[in-house]
Structure 1
Amino acid sequence: MTDEPCPCGTGRALSQCCGPLLTTERLAETAEELMRSRYTAHVFGNAEHLWRTWDGRTRPAVVNPGEARWTGLEITEVVDGGPDDLTGTVVFTARHEGGELAERSEFTRRGGRWFYTEGR
């Protein structure tokens, strides 16, 4: 893993940010951290991370990161989702060549792990 900037926009190196989450070296501590790692997984086409971090109660049978070339992430609101919370919400805009995706993502924490539940 290189010290290139993490695509999620924190300004930290990939190896010190989302990289360890994508390689399962550690788990996300907050809903925002998981959301950022999921964005990074989309950037790299890492379907396994997307599948593993999606709540099994709402996850589709097949998770496909798609073909979009992602160019930036902006977090506009975070509600709860801290280390001691059971739920959290992250509102963001993810930009890609040709457009953007704005979403209000819901997360749940079960067994000490954060999962993406749904987006609106």
Structure 2
Amino acid sequence: MYSFGSILKNLRTSKKLSIDQLVKQINEKYNMKISKSMISRYENDEAEPKMNMVRIFADFFDASPEYIMGLEESDKKSVSKNSKAIETIAAHLDEKNITDEKMKNIIKYIDFIFQDED
């Protein structure tokens, strides 16, 4: 089941940030005035963020808004970020009958290869 709070907390802890650190960095980077209590309310699923906050969290954590909203499983923006490269790869494989499922697997493999570089 989707939980914005658990996604946000997982993203925050994966970056080894405390709530205080997250608040400070977001407020500085985006000229915001979000409070520690608001982050806590989000993480405890006591409040849902507005779309502008979803975009800010997505940008801050380098994740897609769709992931933050629980609409996709991967937190990587690599598909949209690298769409030109993917189009190029697809063009080279055009005659190979690449299905959408095969392309997803190719993208997952590429992400796997470069996962230690993030």
Task: Flag the structure with higher helix content.
Answer: 2
Larger Rg: 2
TM-score if structure 2 supplies the norm length? 0.30
Task: Flag the structure with higher strand content.
Answer: 1
